[in-house]
Amino acid sequence: MCSWRSFFVGRNSLRVILPPCTKPIDGELVLITGSGGGLGRLFALEFTKHGAEVVLWDINKDFNNAHMKCKVPLKCFHHKSVKCPNSD
């Protein structure tokens, strides 16, 4: 158990000195499936805040269209509801 603790302490210490590289997502196209749910909505909001163009897919048309009436407007997004015949 001590070896795992040492690993995480070492890894986090290294991240303070050398932070991980991140890719800028300005203008990137992001596809979010299951966008009608809570996590999909949160991901869509976060990606649009960072300048990404977001495509939202969900099997529930009402939930997916709820993004259109969202209090925080999503900029640069497209939405598509897909009817899945095997969704039972």
Q: Does residue 17 sit within a domain?
A: no
Residue 73 inside a domain? The answer is yes
**Does residue 2 form part of some domain?**
no
- The CATH code of the domain that includes 62 is 3.40.50.720
Can you name the residues that pair with 79 across neighbouring β-strands?
56
* Domain span including residue 48: 23-88
Give 71's contacts (C-beta < 8 A, 6+ positions apart).
none
In a domain, 4, yes or no: no
Specify if 53 maps to a domain.
Answer: yes
The answer to the question of residue 10 being in a domain is: no
Whole-model pTM over 0.85: no
Number of structural domains the chain divides into = 1
Q: What is the pLDDT along the chain (88 residues), one digit of tens a residue?
A: 567 788 888 888 888 888 777 788 888 888 888 877 788 888 888 888 888 888 878 777 777 666 666 655 555 556 655 666 665 5
